[in-house]
Structure 1
Amino acid sequence: MVGYAFMGAAHSQGWRTVGRVFDLPLRPAMNAVCGRNRDAVAAAAARHGWAAAETDWRRLLDRDDVQLVDICTPGDSHAEIAVAALEAGKHVLCEKPLANSVAEAEAMAAAAGTARAGGRVAMVGFNYRRTPAVALARRMIRDGRIGTLRHVRASYLQDWLVDPEAPLTWRLRRDQAGSGALGDLGAHIVDLAQYLAGERLTGVSAVTGTFVRERPLPSGGRGTVTVDDAALFTGRFASGALASFEASRVAAGRKNALRIELNGERGSLAFDLERLNELSFHDQTEPAVAAGFRRILVTEPGHPYLKAWWPPGHGLGYEHTFVHQARDLVHAVAAGTEPAPSFADGLQVQRVLAAVEASAAGNCAYTPVSPAVADFPT
């Protein structure tokens, strides 16, 4: 694994736990974690259960005991590490968003395609797909429970940048993060919308805003914020269904508020991350006198992933999405099958993000997502 901070800790939890919960065709061995600060990465290795620590990610590619590289670094290094790892014959897991630009994402997807022919797989880490309630919603939509899709509403709101004196970290620098709330949060809801709908967005119309343009530097003084604080955009799917999206890191009182609702001709489904063991479902075909949204408690052994966990009614949490992510990737590696979401899926999300920025720069002009294709891989 490359990177050991927030996402590194979450991914470590997944790798450390997955073999203790699920029956796997292969058993992950946490052989090495890499970071630039020798003392800090050594401490992270000891804390999270890694056998060794490295300070140069290139050394991981030379190690025979490393067969998979998990990338948990800022976006500006994703492309270089992922392409090199795939060319070195390693499987790759890369955190979202896939890259900082469409060009980088295209290079990564191309490298993944070449590696695929040699038996190596590459997956992008959109962990919210692995929430059992979201996976159940996907199953219900594919089974036709809401009928033809008409409308999607998605929002992801946080408040950690409300304070104008919050420090200027790498997430607020375009050269390292690529974009702000758009890439950090918007990437998740774009992926979820396309995943649940089973089709791609073909065009968007957007506005973005940066409300605090200078923040204190950790080393002293002040620096310029070069990314967005919030992004709002509408979109159209290939089928003609409409969508609206909100991503903000300045929504006071919202800590990690992701919500998505899909409306179809036969009903609606809604998921709220703050109630992540639940799914709301309305069946429009029921008589109106008794119809309404009903709460599905997603803890039954017949629900996605849950047979391996606790008795019904015992809920899971955020960290379990990374265990499920590791489980799905290990199965893909063992079977030699394309994992989902693939680097091609990550590239599609990157194209949507680029279209949002282009639309916002053009004062909300409708901007096609290029290339606009109707099919969407399962």
Structure 2
Amino acid sequence: MTEPIITLDGVHKRFEAASGNVHAVNGVNLDIYPGEIFGVIGFSGAGKSTLVRLINGLEPTTSGRLTVNGHEVSALREKQLLPVRHDIGMIFQQFNLFSSKTVADNVAYPLHIVNAKNRSWDKAARDARVAELLAFVGLSDKAKAYPAQLSGGQKQRVGIARALAANPRILLADECTSALDPQTTDEVLDLLRRANSELGVTIVIITHEMDVVRNLCHRVAVMEAGKVIEQGEVYDIFSNPTHPTTRRFVNTSLKDRPTEKTLERLSHHYSGRLVTVTIRDRDTGGRTVVHTLDEAGVRADLVYGSIVEITDRPYGSLTFALTGTDDDIDHALGLLRDFTDVEEHDAAGYREAQR
């Protein structure tokens, strides 16, 4: 089995503050493997950004064992961390570009730092590498421009090119889409996906946006109050979240289930029994659900729902207003429960409350 490229084993990080000690990272255990895109998600104050600073050695661990690319970072002194950091690229929320340098010079900056150590990046090699990376991020025509002349999305693409300059094995992206509009976010995520698939770079992305996780990551860890409260394959986390905080994140991303207010409105417009059916994978998709209801002699009006692709697999829920005899509907729901989750809402109660 492949060895992890990043391992956190019982890692803690405490800070001293005026209000007392802050336990920013609390006993975290994680394995991140070469070539994967790993998401770390949490609300503000969850400890996710501190976790990134521990991985690249910008903050020392308080206790526990942290290994990055074969180096036990938690046991290294500052000078010993330099070779580790050369294998790590950083992408920031606010871009962190040098305003007085051109796009090309911003991308070349890490190569000057590496060159001071091993002299492997002479001017010709630097120029070739910068040209290669600007072509990769689609900014060849902006080489001589300055950051102030770029859009937010273009600035972030420069940031990605700079992070890739020294051929890192790992990219750490800390809220790298938070300052971008949805269309630009999609473009940046596509670029990160290409960096992963074409260059083989392992990516750890820190975010509070579940849509970023859904559209990009292979696996995800959910953090709260410094702890990892849930982790696993992205599809499994979306389709079967176990922690209330994870369920909140999933609900904000999918928006596939009707709220109480929506159910009240639906019950006013539809006389049938309101039922929400979970859609998992192609063999239990919407067509299978509708066919099952039809075979049971039940009419199903689709009134709410959404199905999305998560790691190339469909997931979501559909809400139907079912009409027919109670016996037929009960029989149909029993058939559905044999292969998926079914939730019946109290449509009659909503209608009674509206009278």
Give TM class, smaller chain. under 0.3
Higher helix share goes to which structure?
Answer: 2
Higher strand share goes to which structure?
Answer: 2
Higher-Rg structure is 2
Q: Which has the higher contact order (CA 8 A, sep 6+)?
A: 1
TM (normalized to structure 1)?
0.26
